[in-house]
Amino acid sequence: MENGVASTKEEGFLSRMALNDNKAGMEGLDRDKINKIIMETSKGSKFYENELKRDQQVNQRITKMMLQKARITEQQLKKAQAQVEKVSTALEKSRDLSRVIVHVDMDAFYAAVEMRDCPELKDKPMAVGSMSMLSTSNYHARKYGVRAAMPGFIAKKLCPSLVIVPLNFDKYRAVSNEIREIFADYDPNFQPMSLDEAYLDFTDHLEQRQHWPESTRTHHFRPMIFSNLPGIAPNMMLAKVCSDKNKPNGQYRLPSTREAVMDFIQNLPVRKVCGIGKVSEKMLNALGISTCSHLGQQMALLSLLFSETAWHHFLEVSLGLGSTYIPRHEERKSMSTERTFKELSKVEEQLSLCRELCEDLAEDMKKEGLKGKTVTLKLKNVNFEVKTRAMTLPCAVATVDEIFAVAKDLLKTEIENESPQPLRLRLMETPETRRPSLAE
């Protein structure tokens, strides 16, 4: 019996941490060998225990969902199907194939910056991060199964010769700003999602370019030393999927026809879609759903088992629909800064880091001309448990002192909650949600 329980635990852990050989650079690897190393290295660690805990929570949700499914009647399914068809018809009428949306993902961005500054790393397996957690890895490292969001101590077991370079956000931000200047030439209202990712609407640019002299039609993307992976499609959801299609150095354009869109998503794994993560994927898999076409076939059932927001999203995905409107800079809802580190347990160091993050955030907000009313502090402890605390203010704030005053109180509350034990952290993030109107 104990062996059976242990086997179930290992399967649960591997469902979260196993090699994903669908990712660029990891095709054709020895999956069983890599997963065995991951398992043997992780066992007994806090990371392993936390992943087991999270998997158990998902399993409990699945058990509850399956009990709910067993109680659904044919009459309820028929009624749900009618509702789904009504919503589907309305969504179909809203389909817009007129826009050319581009999603740009700078491939292995942090690693590319480090290899630019230290060329001898180009031919070595390397990653950026720490022994606690990696942020990215180059393609030499991926051949060993080393990837982002993997603890460095596991990566070292997979690849003993791996070089781990510490994160340097000041450097990455400087390079990102240079790249964003290029993006602005194509779409002044592009939407940055992170330092290495952005959405652009090329529709107007392509219209204008028809009138350019032939000699000026080839522009900035070519001389960039970093691999950029544009996905081109009629909406943001599809563009993001397309940007992952031809890694590491290609681009993919999905034709702007309904037939092409529906063919594209037919066998697309649900995990490839933004907004469907590990948890949702496992819950959908429990219902026999693994592709986007399966979503469409099971929509009536999904509408009875998931929240309205969730099943509406699933329905949009099954139809290949997504937003065609890229919000302008001034319409951004939030900004954030984040740091991952080995361990931080001294109060003075935690407060100092919090202040540093607030300074970075205030600087970014100043550049965008934004103010915010809700300050949020996200913390991850050494047991990999995540806590998020927020405070909404009566007036919008923007200066470092104003933001830090709130973030400091939130942090001190968590420190006091852990007392007399120290608060032992490995990640801190200060996102700030801004008010709807433009800052004056």
Whether 139 and 112 have beta carbons less than 8 Å apart is answered as: no
pLDDT of residue 290: 96
Q: What is the pLDDT of residue 212?
A: 67
**What per-residue confidence (pLDDT) applies to 383?**
78
Residue 415 in tokens: 């420190």
Looking at residue 119, what is its pLDDT? 95
Structure confidence at residue 154 (pLDDT): 92
Q: Report how far apart, in Å, the C-alpha atoms of 307 and of each of 273, 310, 314 are.
A: 18, 5, 11
Fold designation for 2-62: DNA polymerase; domain 1 (1.10.150)
- Whole-number Å distance between alpha carbons of 380 and 414: 11
Contact (Cβ atoms closer than 8 angstroms) between residue 200 and residue 190:
yes
Closest CA relative to residue 26, chosen from 110, 148, 124: 148
The per-residue pLDDT for 49 is 84
CB atoms within 10 A of CB 149: 10
Q: Which CATH architecture is the domain 101-107+170-255 placed in?
A: 2-Layer Sandwich (3.30)
Model pTM? 0.75
Domains 2-62 and 72-95+263-318 share a fold: yes
Residue 2 has a pLDDT of 44
Out of 197, 356, 359, 414, the active site residue is 197
Amino acid 232: pLDDT: 95
Any idea where the domains of the chain sit in the sequence? 2-62, 72-95+263-318, 101-107+170-255, 329-434
318: tokens are: 């099954």
Q: Distance between terminal CA atoms of the chain?
A: 66
* Class of the CATH-defined domain 72-95+263-318: mainly alpha
Bridge partners, residue 60, by sequence:
none
What is the Cα Rg of the chain in Å?
A: 23
Position 187 scores a pLDDT of 92
CA distances for 368 relative to 269, 329, 363, 365, 439, angstroms: 37, 7, 9, 5, 9
Give the C-alpha separation, 231 to 253, whole Å. 6
Q: 197 an active-site residue?
A: yes
| Nearest to 428, CA basis, from 397, 386, 399 | 386
Of 105, 99, 108, the C-alpha closest to 134 is 108
**pLDDT value of position 240:** 93
pLDDT (tens, 9 = 90+) of the chain, 440 residues, equals 444 445 566 666 655 666 666 677 777 788 888 888 888 888 888 878 888 888 888 999 999 999 999 999 999 999 999 999 999 999 999 999 999 999 998 889 999 999 999 999 999 999 999 998 899 999 999 999 999 888 899 999 999 999 999 999 889 989 999 999 889 988 998 988 888 899 999 999 888 877 666 555 555 444 454 566 789 999 999 999 999 887 766 789 999 999 999 999 999 999 999 888 888 999 999 999 999 999 999 999 999 999 998 999 999 999 999 999 887 654 556 667 777 766 788 898 889 889 888 888 888 777 666 788 888 899 988 877 888 888 888 888 888 888 998 999 999 989 988 888 888 887 788 766 554 333 33
Q: What is the rounded CA–CA span in Å between residue 336 and residue 360?
A: 9
Calpha distance 362→138 (Å, rounded): 32
CATH class, range 329-434: alpha beta
